Chains A and B, each alone.
Chain A
């Protein structure tokens, strides 16, 4: 009887240790875990574009997380520009978009392009959020104040004050060559963006 009680104790302790260990491993494995706000399914598009392919891209200057100010026209004659508007920091799809772009800087280089990431969040929020993505090679810009002014200028500011999930390509002459105001609930397939960049690069 004593032997079986001891065996039972050892067994219970073993099981206890296993579950405690497992729980700790889960808790330390991923920084997004408790920090993503679930927004549910939203109206796919909730704004009206104010620009079209072939237009000169409206110029803007915005502060970057790194402290510098970035002006769109500073790339004119030097780089094609991809603008990635995403709706908001700490939301599911947005947190799962720029980290992918972060591993394809070679594709951007091959196509002589720079990426500008823009949200309407303020700088401290963007700083904390993008820190979870590792070191980003591209500027992250804040369109926080005056609130969403650039997004509004392009016609990608939604009625609740966040930006659409939109990708725009501007060529070296400053002309808009591609606009994808995507369903806010979905991530744009990477191949679509890369195909458009390659198409632009092949054109004289």
Chain B
């Protein structure tokens, strides 16, 4: 009886939370994201990709992938850029983590030129991928920006989203802790 009440309570809470906030992305949605392989050889090597055309998230050579959906026109993305760069530096400075966690950005509604302007302005060290016509953004459920997604890739190349959030980047250190915790790397 109690279990039944608690179950209903949980369903109610979950439904209420998801109905007022943007829902996290679902695995099935992420599967449809096909991204162009970066032309820059260093970025291509960073992600461990081969080929010259497109890739899926699970093809990135990593155990965890951090995705930021951003726009060069978004003031909040601009404000967060130095903190996101710090997250990258923290990962790259750790010899163990740098092989396990990779980062990419997807520029919603941004052309290649616009993404490059943003990259240069904020000295973004990880690959930024243009999504000029909002194609990827649409597949992702048109989230507002910045939107952060953490994907865990398993050895058999299956994967799951272990965390997603709209804005509110808490800083490099706490977010890295969160990544390690939700992905089981810690």
Residues on A facing B (Cβ under 8 Å): 4-5, 8-9, 11-12, 15-16, 19, 22-23, 25-26, 28-33, 96-97, 99-100, 102-104, 107, 132-134, 187, 189-191, 194
Contact = CB atoms under 8 A, between A and B. Distances in A.
A19 B16 CA distance: 9
21 contacts: A5-B2, A11-B6, A19-B13, A19-B14, A19-B16, A19-B17, A22-B21, A23-B17, A26-B21, A29-B76, A29-B168, A31-B76, A32-B144, A96-B71, A96-B109, A99-B73, A99-B74, A103-B78, A134-B75, A190-B117, A191-B114
Nearest to B167: A29
Given A8-B3, A102-B75, A103-B118, 8 more contacts: A8-B6, A26-B21, A26-B168, A28-B167, A30-B76, A31-B76, A104-B117, A191-B111
B85 interface: no
B114 A4 contact: no
Nearest to A18: B17
Contacts of B72: 100, 103, 190
Contacts of B118: 103
Contacts of B168: 25-26, 28-29
Interface string B4-19: 0010011001101100
Contacts of A100: 72-73, 114
A96 B168 CA distance: 19
Contact of B14 (A15, A28, A187): A15
Contacts of B141: none
Closest 7 CB pairs of A and B: A29-B167, A19-B17, A100-B73, A191-B113, A29-B168, A25-B168, A26-B21
- Size class of the contact patch on chain B: 20 to 34
Given A22-B165, A133-B75, A189 B113 contact: yes
Interface in B105-162: 109, 111, 113-114, 117-118, 121, 144
The SS class assigned to the A binding surface is: helix
Given A29-B168, A33-B144, A134-B78, A15 B10 contact: yes
Contact of B21 (A23, A96, A191): A23
Interface of B: 2-3, 6, 9-10, 13-14, 16-17, 20-22, 71-76, 78-79, 109, 111, 113-114, 117-118, 121, 144, 165-168
Contacts of B144: 30, 32-33
Contacts of B6: 8-9, 11-12
B83 to A, nearest CB: 13
A29 to B, nearest CB: 3
Nearest to A186: B109
A23 B167 contact: no
Contacts of A16: 13
Contact of B113 (A33, A103, A134, A190): A190
Nearest to A106: B121
B141 to A, nearest CB: 14
Contacts of A102: 75, 78
Contacts of A31: 76
A16 B17 CA distance: 10
Given A190-B111, A191-B111, A8 B2 contact: yes
Nearest to B169: A29
Contacts of B14: 15, 19
Contact of A12 (B9, B78, B121): B9
Given A99-B78, A100-B72, A26 B166 contact: yes
B111 A132 contact: no
A127 to B, nearest CB: 16
A5 to B, nearest CB: 5
